[in-house]
Amino acid sequence: MAVATLAGLGVAVLVTREGNTPPSSPPQHAAAGWDGAASSAPPTPSPSGSKRSTAKAAAKSASPQLTVKKAGEIFDRYQHGMSSAQAGMDEDAIGKQEQGLAMEMTKASISTARMEGTKVASGMWPNTRVWVPRHIDGLADWFVAVSYEPEVARISDVMTKTGSGWRLVASAADARANAAELPAIATDSAGYAVSLPENASGLVGTPRQIVRAHLASLEKAQPDQRFAQGAWTSEAALFWQREREQLVQAGWGLTLSYEPEGAIHTLQTSDGGALIWYAARSAETRTARRLGAKVSLKGSAAVRTSRKAFGRWVSATYGRMYVAYVPPAGSTDPVRVLGEWSEVLETDGA
C-alpha cells in the first residue's frame, strides 16, 4: 500500500575510486472478453420450457452490482486490516489484504524496515472517495478508492474481488506539496464509473499502448515527448542517462529492464480521456567492465545489500506502480503520469 512508502526512484549509484470516442456507458459486450465478439446465438430453452425455471436460473447466474456504499465499507476494512498488519510488522497478515505484486511490495517494505531497525508507516487515510465500475460478466469486480489531503498527499488504490475476498492490487501516490486532485472521473446516470478495456479506442493511445510507451521510455532512458515532463517520466529517464554516463566513466555498464505486470485498470474521465492504473517489475544491473572502481547502492537498495560496495556486479529488482491520465483522441495535451509507488524487492551482487 502506498502509505508504506512514497519513494521515487529509490536507488542511485555511488561510484568510488576503485482513435474513436470511448463509450459513454459501460461496455455491454464483455461477457466474451474485451477482445472477443459476443455470440449472437439465442439461448437454448430448457427441456421443460418452464418460465419459472428459466427465471430461477437467471437469478442464480446474475451477479449483484457492488454499490458505492458497500465498496466504502470494504475499503474501510482493508485500511483497518493493513494498518494493524503494518503496525505489527506482520508480513503473513499482508496476504489477507493484498495480492500479487502489491503484496510483494508491502512485504518487501517490511523486510527492508526490519533490516534497517525501523518501522513502516501505518494508519488510516481520511477523506476517501470510491468509484465503482458496473459489474461485467466474466470479469472480476473492482473499484478505486482515492484519498486526497491538500499539501500532504494523494493516494489512489485499486481493490479487486478475488476467490479469497477483496484485495488491493494496485496503488499510486503523489506526496509532493503541489499534488492536485485526479481529473474528474465520469459516471453514468446511476453514479457508477465507466470502465474501459486495455485496448480502448477514443484516446490518444490505448491504455496498453500508453503503458508500454511509458515503460519503454524508462528502459531506454529516453524521454518520450508524448508524456508531460515530470518526476516519473522525463526526470526518471534523465536520471538513468546520468547514471549510465557516470558508470561508463568508471568502467561499468548499466542494463535496465521494465516489464509490465498484471492488469491495467482504466476509468473514463469526464472529458472523454481516461485514468489508468498499471504496474511493472523493473531490474537494474550494473556490471564492471574493468577492475578498479566499486559501486554501492543508495536508499532501500543499500539497506537490502547491507550497504556493501561491489566490484564485479550488482543488481536491484523493484516493483513499481503508476497512475496516469490519458487525453481523449484529437487532444494535443500530453499523457500525464500522476503518481507512483516503488519498493525494492530484492538485491544481489558480488
Tens digits of pLDDT across the chain (350 residues): 544 333 333 332 333 222 332 222 222 222 222 222 222 233 333 333 443 443 344 334 445 899 999 999 999 999 999 999 898 898 889 999 999 999 999 999 998 889 888 888 888 888 899 999 999 988 999 999 999 988 889 999 999 999 999 999 999 999 998 888 999 999 999 999 999 999 999 999 999 999 999 999 999 999 999 999 999 999 999 999 999 999 999 899 999 999 999 999 999 999 999 999 999 999 999 999 988 888 888 888 988 888 998 988 999 999 999 999 999 999 999 999 999 999 999 998 89
Amino acid at 155: I
Q: What is the pLDDT of residue 275?
A: 98
Q: What is the pLDDT of residue 291?
A: 83
Whole-number Å distance between alpha carbons of 26 and 89? 40
Closest alpha carbon to 315 in 262, 252, 261: 252
Cell 512508502 found at:
5
Query: Exposed, middle or buried by CB within 10 Å (0-12, 13-18, 19+), for 308?
Result: middle
Q: What is the pLDDT of residue 43?
A: 32
Closest alpha carbon to 97 in 121, 79, 124, 71: 79
DSSP structure string for 262-319: EEEEEEEBTTS-EEEEEEEEEEEEEEESSSS--EEE-HHHHHHTTT--BSSEEEEEEE
**pLDDT tens-place string over residues 298-327:** 888 988 888 998 988 999 999 999 999 999
Q: What is the pTM of this model?
A: 0.81
Residue 51 half-sphere exposure, CB side, CA atoms within 13 Å? 0
Tell me the CA end-to-end span of the chain in Å, nearest whole number.
32
Whether the Cβ atoms of residue 39 and residue 92 lie closer than 8 Å to each other: no
Closest alpha carbon to 168 in 350, 341, 348, 347: 341
Closest alpha carbon to 181 in 230, 129, 229, 122: 129
Tell me, rounded to whole angstroms, the distance of Cα 16 from its chain centroid: 35
115 Cβ contact list (under 8 Å, min separation 6): 303, 304, 306
Cell 524487492 found at:
345
**pLDDT tens-place string over residues 86-127:** 988 988 899 999 999 999 999 999 988 898 888 888 888 888
Q: What is the pLDDT of residue 126?
A: 81
Q: What is the pLDDT of residue 178?
A: 87
Q: What is the pLDDT of residue 63?
A: 54
Q: What is the pLDDT of residue 94?
A: 93
Q: What is the pLDDT of residue 44?
A: 32
Whole-number Å distance between alpha carbons of 12 and 275? 30
Whole-number Å distance between alpha carbons of 222 and 271? 29
Which three cell numbers, joined as nine digits, stand for 196?
A: 474501459
Tell me, rounded to whole angstroms, the distance of Cα 267 from its chain centroid: 14
Strand order in the sheet with 336-349: 128-131, 142-149, 153-162, 165-174, 336-349, 313-326, 274-288, 252-268
